[in-house]
Amino acid sequence: MHTSLTEEARVQYRVHPPAFLDGKAKLLLIDGKLVPSVSGKTFKTYNPSTGKVLAEVAEAGREDIDRAVAAARRAFEEGPWSRFKPFDRQAVLLRLADLVEKHFDELCLIDTLDMGGPIARTSAARRRGVALLRYYAGLATATHGHTIDNSVDGDIFSYTLKEPVGVVAAINPWNGPLGLAIWKIAPVLATGCTMVLKPAEQAPLSPLRLGELCLEAGVPAGVVNIVTGFGEAGAALSAHPGVDKIAFTGSTEVGQHIVRASAGNMKRVSVELGGKSPNIVFADADLDQAVPGAAMAVFNNSGQICSAGTRLFVQRSIHDEFVQRVAAFAKTLRVGDPLDPQTQLGPLVSDTQLERVTGYLASGKAEGAQALSGGQRITEGALADGYFVAPTIFANVTDSMAIAREEIFGPVISAMPFDSIEEVIRRGNDTPYGLGAGVWTRDIGNAQRVSRGLRTGSVWVNCYQAMDPAVPFGGYKMSGYGRESGTEHMEEYLQTKAVWVKNPPEKR
């Protein structure tokens, strides 16, 4: 079902547009100040549900990256931040959590306008955003080294210190602008690092607003710098000799550039990349849960989620019934203006993304797949100007088709039957990626065997995409390395120093 904006939502937005969108160009945050780019250049960010310009944003070039990295370095080595105790960093994180909670309506509205996520979804991210900040606030005072018994001759004692890695370059994609920015900022503040964050050019606004809240929370100047711009700015940042660590989330292709760029000064790197995750439904599953579960494992955020369960493997005895039920469910989803609280699927983020996804729809059909639902861009009525694609499930898919192998990043499921558990584990692993996976079954043995057999960073049993600040998330294989969330995430931002202390002989 396709909807347009309700009168209620229209009124709400007209009466309370976010104050942040005041028509002025949005500036870079460098060294605690909002500044234009050195070149004076700006770029436009668009509302993907209308195709209209939302704001002008400063475009960072190499000189701006130099300035931001220098500010982060100064803040790390000389600024008051370097003297902050764990308790002080915790207090900053807790204040930031309170501010994010207080301003969440504005933040989620900005995200909905800038990247098209339905307001029902972006506003539901409040709990996670705030919880992430409070969780890392807790870890700020709970991080420590060890004393280690060694076997070296003599009276010699050893212990480890945990030290912040230094200046972090954080580079993000557009599919969850606010949440991804919080996920990068929180461990930096918890560990005592400093950072330069480059949000994605398609949706840079909520990270900039978050930067303002960082200042309000008492994050000292230079600790969190935010530079908006394109891939060249990201490239300059990831090659910069003043950066100690890169935390990148984005495509595998750009992740490979990042890893190469890191080699110049041996930066620490964590890379959270793309996926083509298998979602496996056994015949004994609770189908009333599995049908919406399998659908929303892909259609959430219009398929623009790295761990989307896009390869749907269904045990042969229930395959035909199951895919028909997923198609029927897809047809009930409300695709429409993301400001409408009833909307379940908004537009894709950009015309480029629309072109990419419709290209895959065409290639699926050309290779012989059959669209049981969707299969095309929505071109009718109020949605015609936006980048809307109907939720699609393809049947008659084979493992070798492009739609079964490549990350589409749109609302497209490729469904395939399977017969045995060994076969589905092998086919599930037959991909360069290894990010997420789902298993739907009542048989605990099957659930365990599949969970162990799949080479992926997360496996969800009878659920999909559950996330929590305490549970690590990340990839195997070409989905990247490093973990975000959990205590593992803190380690990505810490150095371990071994200290040896030999007791001098007693004075006679």
Binding site for ligand NAD (CB under 6 A): 171-175, 198, 200-201, 230-231, 234-235, 238, 249-251, 254, 257-258, 272-275, 306, 407, 409, 435, 475
Position closest to ligand NAD via CB: 234
Of 124, 176, 119, 126, nearest to 344 by C-alpha is 119
- CB nearer ligand NAD, residue 199 or residue 220: 199
The answer to whether the beta carbons of residues 327 and 394 sit under 8 Å apart is: no
For this structure, is 214 an active site residue?
no
485 Cβ contact list (under 8 Å, min separation 6): 132, 183, 467, 468, 469, 470, 471, 472, 473
For this structure, is 272 an active site residue?
yes
Q: How many residues does the chain have?
A: 508
- CB nearer ligand NAD, residue 276 or residue 325: 276
Kindly state the smallest distance separating residue 82's Cβ from ligand NAD, in Å.
28
- CB nearer ligand NAD, residue 310 or residue 315: 310
Kindly state the smallest distance separating residue 117's Cβ from ligand NAD, in Å.
13
Which residue among 59, 272, 407, 491 is the active-site one? 272
The answer to whether the beta carbons of residues 247 and 184 sit under 8 Å apart is: yes
Q: Map residue 140 onto helix, strand or coil.
A: helix
Which residue among 201, 306, 484, 491 is the active-site one? 306
- CB nearer ligand NAD, residue 13 or residue 230: 230
96 token code pair: 């930031």
Query: How buried is residue 11: exposed, middle or buried, by Cβ count under 10 Å (0-12/13-18/19+)?
Result: exposed
Query: How buried is residue 400: exposed, middle or buried, by Cβ count under 10 Å (0-12/13-18/19+)?
Result: exposed
Kindly state the smallest distance separating residue 502's Cβ from ligand NAD, in Å.
45
- CB nearer ligand NAD, residue 86 or residue 231: 231
Kindly state the smallest distance separating residue 267's Cβ from ligand NAD, in Å.
12
Q: What are phi and psi of 382, to 5 degrees?
A: -65, -15
Query: In whole angstroms, what is the distance from residue 68 CA to residue 28 CA?
Result: 9
Parallel, antiparallel or unpaired: strands 370-373 and 392-395: antiparallel
Active site residues: 272, 306
